Amino acid sequence: MVTPTADAPDPGATRDIGAVLDDWHDAAAHADEARYFAHFAPGAVFLGTDATERWDVAAFRAYAHPRFAEGRAWTFHATARHVAFSADGRVAWFDESLATERLGPARGSGVLVRGATGWSIAQYNLALTVPNERFADVKKVLESR
């Protein structure tokens, strides 16, 4: 169960954002490409785990399409989520801890914007979490590339 932790200008806004993000993750888990990409705002950006992965929606969709077409996108479940809002309540930013099937523990963060039809994802940043005591090992691997 994800527990909202920030005060929202609109009492339902935190719940609405959670519903958008949960549905977005569910769309990926069920390889529903149309539903997944419908959650992005115009001009949105997806930042992946690789340093080269900064995609606009069209490029990200081109990358992800084969996975969706094969019916095996990815499965992420938020285990915790924190949301904050701009003073006017039209922009929200969040971070979420993720349980994933392939990556292990991960973190997502990003920005949503409220438009005429509700909340849309303007930016999502997927990151792998590395325990501090293991970072020297990870750094060595990265430097050996």
Mind listing the domains of the chain with CATH numbers? Answer: 13-143 (3.10.450.50)
Q: Does residue 89 or residue 110 have the better pLDDT?
A: 110
pLDDT reading at 139 higher than 90: no
Dump strand ranges (E) for the chain.
40-47, 54-56, 76-85, 91-100, 106-115, 118-128
3-class SS of residue 140: helix
Which range in 43-47, 129-133, 139-143 is most confidently predicted, on average pLDDT?
43-47
Burial-class residue 7 by CB neighbours within 10 Å (0-12, 13-18, 19+). exposed
- For residues 58-70, give the mean pLDDT: 97
> CA 123 to CA 57: how far, in whole Å?
10
- For residues 52-63, give the mean pLDDT: 97
Please provide the average confidence, as pLDDT, over all residues in the chain: 92
> CA 109 to CA 131: how far, in whole Å?
18
